[in-house]
Amino acid sequence: MTTQVIGRKMYLAGKWVKRDRIIEVRDPQDNSLIDTVPAASVEDMIQCIEEAKEGARVAASMPVYKRMEIIHKAADYIEANDEKFARTIAREGSKTIREARKEVKRCIQTLRISAEEARRINGETIPFDQMEGSENRVGYYYRFPIGIVGAITPFNDPLNLVAHKVGPAIAAGNAIIVKPSTLTPLSALLLAEAFDEAGLPPKILSVVTGYGSEIGDVLVTHPDIRMISFTGGVEAGEEIIRKAGLKKISMELGSNSPVIVLEDADLDEAVESTVSGAFWAAGQNCIGVQRVYVQESIMDAFQKKFVERTNQYCVGDKQSELTDMGPLITEKEAIRVEHLVNEAVEAGAILLTGGKRSGAFYWPTVLTNVPEECRIAKEEVFGPIVLLYPVKDLDTAIEKSNAVNYGLQAGIFTNNLQKAYKAIEKMDVGGIMINDSSDYRIDAMPFGGVKKSGLGREGIKFAIQEMTEPKVVCFKLCN
């Protein structure tokens, strides 16, 4: 498939601008040039923040019905151009066209929910007279917008994860500056186009394309940025936290999610769900299944079905309707994953299927017998790799599931209510799915993790909470 390289502009405080320095955006499957975007400078970011101060004032004074109208119009624009959005995701990212279409549908949902949540940004009355001496006081609190939100986003959901920050920020009456992944900036620019077409006043939204290593610090450390909403890897997340200073921080980081399969589970259902959860977006998914703990009595049967189903996966051209899995985001990433697998095999792991690489493609890979001290067993792989472990019972499975530094989501397959409830109580995660894999999410639910998986929650209503502050109002009444 060929596309015309036209040289995209970035969206700086409501204006579409070009710069001489550019970033090449390449298709990971064949390294072909798709387009270019400006490489924003430090001065661009500073200017953008200056303009966003005015944007924040405009956004805060925009009535809720108007915010709702604009966000719905942006969603309408995406709906009317859904195939263009999907093809862009499937070109610059590593998703297949079928996966990309699902992301576009979810993005529309994210925006529609954001519009609806705008009307529910409520406060409460406060019974001040609970305190002796406060009998003649009445009041309430309401939530006001935080100001300017700095959003930094990763490559793996280049549209919907940006919408998860832009939708709530605008619904709450904030200005927002997005720094998308350098690898996948085109989808974020399309989202800016949707808001521009929807009539969003200038200066409320910017999508600044540039290298995190060059312009990230300005955004993160600037005193007028009141909140950093970051989604990405732990390493970058920790660096941002160290530098950010006194501002709100929301961190959506990685994981190596566990799934437990007990002997009373529906085996076919568990296999179908965990295979899909492991290989969605070539495993580049923060809630992707990485570790599966299977009760010993059903291990052989589960493993056989799991490998059979994995071997049915069609790996190849992302634009083909027949393809189940595309490449990793770069060849470098595929080589990193290959090293992790080879290291595990050298340490005694058994390769049941996969373990093959060609350029940026790495085939769906299933391992057993992986020593627990291997990096692949402890760290986030962020690739199409899944580790199967037999376990004696639920307690062992829970203990092993928790024995990592992450805790985003988990899954358990069982029809035993007591056991499901035990897992709910004992597993250290931000979300647990019963009879689904860790890879289940809707956009309206609270989403986020514990331990190194993050801080704070997204899922529109919850992001709005983080992007607003309560203001207390108290009237002292005269007698």
Among this protein's residues, is 286 annotated catalytic? Answer: yes
Q: Pick the closest to residue 311 from 255, 246, 346, 363 (CA basis).
A: 363
409 forms part of the interface with ligand NAP (CB under 6 A): no
Q: Which amino acid is at 83?
A: E
Instruction: State the greatest distance between any 2 C-alpha atoms of the chain, in Å, as a whole number.
Output: 83
Query: Which residues does 166 contact at the CB level (< 8 Å), separation at least 6?
Result: 151, 176, 178, 191, 195, 205
Measured from the CB atom, the residue of 68 and 251 that comes closer to ligand NAP is 251
Which one of the listed residues 92, 99, 252, 466 is annotated catalytic? 252
**CA dist., res. 240 & res. 220, Å (int):** 7
Shortest gap between Cβ of 69 and ligand NAP (angstroms)? 28
Measured from the CB atom, the residue of 244 and 391 that comes closer to ligand NAP is 244
Among 313, 382, 413, 462, binds ligand NAP (CB under 6 A): 382
- For 60, 119, 206, 247, 303, the CA distances from 122, given in Å and listed in that order, are 15, 8, 27, 23, 50
Query: Which residues does 428 contact at the CB level (< 8 Å), separation at least 6?
Result: 402, 407, 450, 451
414 forms part of the interface with ligand NAP (CB under 6 A): no
Nearest-5° Cα angle at 440, 436 to 446: 125
Query: Which residues does 189 contact at the CB level (< 8 Å), separation at least 6?
Result: 8, 9, 10, 11, 37, 180, 207, 209
Q: Which amino acid is at 89?
A: I
Measured from the CB atom, the residue of 128 and 230 that comes closer to ligand NAP is 230
212 forms part of the interface with ligand NAP (CB under 6 A): yes
Among 76, 196, 239, 317, binds ligand NAP (CB under 6 A): 239
216 forms part of the interface with ligand NAP (CB under 6 A): yes
Shortest gap between Cβ of 287 and ligand NAP (angstroms)? 7
328 forms part of the interface with ligand NAP (CB under 6 A): no
Shortest gap between Cβ of 327 and ligand NAP (angstroms)? 15
**CA dist., res. 429 & res. 123, Å (int):** 29
Window of 61-69, 232-240, 259-267, 359-367 that interacts with ligand NAP by CB under 6 A = 232-240
Window of 44-52, 94-102, 212-220, 411-419 that interacts with ligand NAP by CB under 6 A = 212-220
Measured from the CB atom, the residue of 68 and 161 that comes closer to ligand NAP is 161
What size, in residues, is the chain? 479
Among 96, 110, 181, 468, binds ligand NAP (CB under 6 A): 181
Shortest gap between Cβ of 39 and ligand NAP (angstroms)? 10
Residue 443, judged by CB atoms within 10 A of its CB (0-12, 13-18, 19+), counts as: buried
Among 231, 273, 303, 465, binds ligand NAP (CB under 6 A): 231
Nearest-5° Cα angle at 124, 118 to 125: 145
Window of 28-36, 211-219, 305-313, 436-444 that interacts with ligand NAP by CB under 6 A = 211-219
182 forms part of the interface with ligand NAP (CB under 6 A): yes
278 forms part of the interface with ligand NAP (CB under 6 A): no
> How many chain residues are in contact with ligand NAP, going by CB under 6 A?
30
Tokens of 303: 């493993």
258 forms part of the interface with ligand NAP (CB under 6 A): no
Q: E strands within 306-359?
A: 350-353, 357-358
Shortest gap between Cβ of 5 and ligand NAP (angstroms)? 20
Ordered DSSP codes for 414-437: -S-HHHHHHHHHH--SSEEEETS-
Cα 59 from chain centroid? Answer: 25
Shortest gap between Cβ of 241 and ligand NAP (angstroms)? 10
Q: Which amino acid is at 384?
A: P
Shortest gap between Cβ of 333 and ligand NAP (angstroms)? 8
352 forms part of the interface with ligand NAP (CB under 6 A): no
Among this protein's residues, is 252 annotated catalytic? Answer: yes
- For 60, 149, 246, the CA distances from 226, given in Å and listed in that order, are 14, 6, 8
Q: Pick the closest to residue 252 from 103, 460, 457 (CA basis).
A: 457
Which one of the listed residues 286, 333, 374, 458 is annotated catalytic? 286
406 forms part of the interface with ligand NAP (CB under 6 A): no
Shortest gap between Cβ of 212 and ligand NAP (angstroms)? 3
- The residues of the shown chain that bind ligand NAP, judged by CB under 6 A, are 152-157, 161, 179-183, 211-212, 216, 220, 231-233, 236, 239-240, 252-254, 286, 380, 382, 408, 454
- What are the catalytic residues? 252, 286
